[in-house]
């Protein structure tokens, strides 16, 4: 912020009609201060773009190296053997596991997170709300390796009961069938990921709910709306784009989570309809597990799988963008 002082003595601008001010300001480059500032911010954007382009080029190059040597089908092979001749590997199982675990996490975490955010901003007594908000902030900062430790040593031993119960009552669906192995399946990972991303989604949602113009809420209250109606009609529509964006942040972490998944999941190169039995792995977990012993080709193959994770994240984010843009008229957002 050094520039601010440089231009502090700038002469007062000549008065202009406000429409013209807005217009010229939106062009942004009429005054030296504006020009410098625009240059700086645009420069940052371009810098970011350059990094990304470099990473993308690097990834694509190494991924192409690997895929050209793949003896199986990169998309459909249920195997990951990169150190053998011929190397055979495919991402089907990883894509399945990544998507399933992230989905479970989102289904569990988003409603609860929105609930907690509402609790903090609209239900809890103010001081309690502040304390809870602080604690949740803190939890968002707990590193994933700690969640991994906790998951492996505390959560997993407590999952037997739930698994038995699900198998007993819902085993007939096929999704909740349990063969009685260690409870370290997709469902456990999904639950752990949900716990991990809960604070993130809560934090951002809370911040968004707090920004709801108070007049909207007061207007609704004045019309005799109950607290729930206020939330449903003024808070949620206003916060929707923020909540979606928060969920995307959470989903990003769930999709890319490495250490916690690696310590908790029992990955197998198989797809299993049941969420309770071992089956599938995730991209990030597979990269972390295989990387340290990988041959150069193995590393390239893992990078290729990282590229697929990229694409998946991109699709998800793209979908979120579309939703956010469509909802913009409700949100009061300016961009």
Partner 1 sequence: MTPTLARRHLDGGSWKELPKVKLQRKNRLRALSLGAVAVSGALALTACGSDDTGKSNGGGSSASASNNSAIKCDDAKGQLQASGSSAQKNAIDAWVAQFKAACSSVQINYNPTGSGAGITAFTQGQTAFAGSDSPLKPEEATAAKKACGGNAAIDLPMVGGPIAIGYNLDGVDNLTLDASTLAKIFDGKITTWNDKAIAKLNPDAKLPSTKIQAFHRSDESGTTDNFTKYLKAVAPSDWKYSGGKAWQAKGGQSAQGSSGLAQQVKQVPGAISYFELSYAADGINTVDLKTDAATPVKATVENATKAIATAKVAGTGNDLALSLNYKPTEEGAYPLTLVTYEIVCEKGNKADTLAATKSFLTYIASEDGQKLLTDAKYAPIPDEIITKVRSTISSLS
Partner 2 sequence: MSTAPVSHRRASTLRGASLPKWSPWAIAVGSVAVAAGIGLGAGLDSKVQWGLIAAILFVLGTYAIAARVEGRRQAKDRVATSLVWVCFIVAVVPLASLIWETVKRGVKVFDVYFLTHSMGVVADTQPGGGIYHAIIGTLEQVAIATLIAVPIGVLTAIYLVEYGRGKLAKAVTFFVDVMTGIPSIVAGLFILSFWILILDMGYSGFAGSLALSILMMPVVVRSTEEMLKLVPNELREASLALGIPKWRTILKVVLPTSIGGITTGVMLAVARITGETAPVLLLVWGTSVINDNPFSDPQASLPLYIYQQYANSAGSGAAYDRAWAAALALIAFVMILNLAARGIARWKAPKTGR
Pull the structure tokens for residue 168.
């007993």
Q: Which stretch binds partner 2 (CB under 8 A): 67-75, 82-90, 177-185, 253-261?
A: 253-261
Residue 166 contacts which entry, partner 2, partner 1, none (Cβ below 5-8 A, type-dependent): none
For the chain, the first-to-last Cα distance in angstroms comes to 24
Rounded to the nearest whole angstrom, what is the least distance from the CB of residue 133 to partner 1 in the complex? 17
Return the number of the residue (272 or 283) whose C-beta is nearest partner 2: 283
Token pair of 150 as six digits = 């906790």
Q: Which is nearer to partner 2, 141 or 182 (CB)?
A: 141
Asked if 43 is part of the footprint of partner 2 (rule: CB under 8 A), the reply reads yes
DSSP string, 248-285: HHHHHHHHH--HHHHHH---BSS--S-SSS--B--HHH
Tokens representing 40 are 């700086």
322 binds partner 2 (CB under 8 A): no
Q: How far is the CB of 135 from partner 1 (least distance, A)?
A: 25
Q: Kindly report the number of other CB atoms within 10 A of residue 89's CB atom.
A: 29
172 counts as binding partner 2 under rule CB under 8 A: no
Report how far residue 242's alpha carbon sits from residue 7's, in angstroms, rounded to the nearest whole number. 35
Q: Would you tell me which residues interact with partner 1 (CB under 8 A)?
A: 1, 4-5, 8, 12, 80-84, 152-153, 156-157, 179-182, 184, 211, 213-215, 262-263, 265-270, 278, 281, 285, 288-296, 298-299
Smallest distance, partner 2 to C-beta of residue 175, A: 19
| Residue numbers 68-87 binding partner 2 by CB under 8 A | none
Closer Cβ to partner 2, 56 or 64, answer by number: 56
Residue 243 to residue 240: CA distance in whole angstroms? 5
Measured CA to CA, the distance from residue 166 to residue 176 in angstroms comes to 6
**Omega cis (within 30) before 86:** yes
Q: Which residues pair with 280 in a beta bridge?
A: 268
211 near partner 2, rule: CB under 8 A = yes
Sequence-distant (≥ 6) Cβ neighbours of residue 150 within 8 angstroms: none
Say whether residue 207 binds partner 2 (CB under 8 A): yes
81 binds, among partner 1, partner 2, none (CB under 5 to 8 A by kind): partner 1
Which window, 64-72, 88-96, 176-184, 192-200, contacts partner 2 (CB under 8 A)? 192-200
Q: Which is nearer to partner 2, 84 or 135 (CB)?
A: 135
Residues in the chain: 335
With CB under 5 to 8 Å by kind, the binding choice for 296 among partner 1, partner 2, none is partner 1
- Identify the sign of the CA torsion 207, 213, 217, 220: negative
Look at residue 270 and give the partner it binds from partner 2, partner 1, none, a contact being a CB closer than 5 to 8 Å depending on partner kind.
partner 1
Tell me the closest approach of the beta carbon of residue 182 to partner 1, in angstroms. Answer: 5
CA pseudo-torsion sign 302, 306, 311, 316? positive
């Amino acid at each position: 912020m050094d520039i601010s002082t440089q231009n502090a003595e700038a002469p007062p601008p000549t008065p202009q009609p406000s429409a013209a001010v807005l217009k010229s300001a939106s062009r942004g480059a009429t005054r030296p201060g504006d020009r410098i500032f625009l240059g700086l911010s645009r420069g940052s954007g371009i810098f970011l773009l350059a990094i990304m382009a470099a990473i993308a080029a690097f990834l694509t190059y190494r991924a192409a190296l690997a895929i050209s040597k793949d003896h199986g089908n990169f998309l459909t092979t249920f195997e990951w053997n990169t150190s053998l001749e011929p190397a055979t590997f495919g991402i089907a199982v990883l894509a399945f596991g990544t998507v399933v675990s992230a989905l479970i996490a989102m289904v569990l975490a988003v409603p609860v997170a929105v609930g907690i955010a509402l609790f903090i901003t609209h239900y809890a007594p103010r001081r309690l709300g502040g304390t809870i908000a602080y604690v949740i902030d803190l939890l968002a900062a707990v590193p994933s390796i700690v969640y991994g430790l906790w998951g492996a040593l505390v959560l997993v031993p407590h999952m037997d009961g739930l698994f038995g119960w699900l198998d007993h009552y819902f085993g007939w669906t096929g999704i909740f069938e349990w063969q009685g192995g260690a409870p370290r399946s997709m469902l456990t990972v999904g639950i752990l990921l949900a716990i991990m991303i809960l604070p993130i989604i809560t934090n951002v949602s809370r911040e968004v709910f707090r920004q709801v113009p108070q007049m909207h809420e007061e207007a609704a209250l004045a019309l005799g709306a109950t607290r729930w109606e206020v939330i449903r009609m003024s808070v949620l529509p206003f916060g929707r784009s923020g909540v979606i964006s928060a969920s995307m942040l959470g989903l990003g972490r769930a999709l890319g989570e490495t250490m916690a998944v690696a310590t908790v999941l029992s990955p197998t190169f198989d797809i299993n309809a049941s969420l309770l039995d071992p089956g599938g792995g995730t991209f990030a977990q597979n990269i972390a597990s295989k990387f340290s012993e990988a041959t150069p080709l193995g590393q390239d193959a893992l990078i290729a799988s990282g590229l697929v994770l990229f694409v998946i994240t991109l699709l998800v984010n793209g979908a979120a963008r579309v939703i956010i843009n469509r909802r913009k008229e409700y949100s009061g957002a300016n961009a």
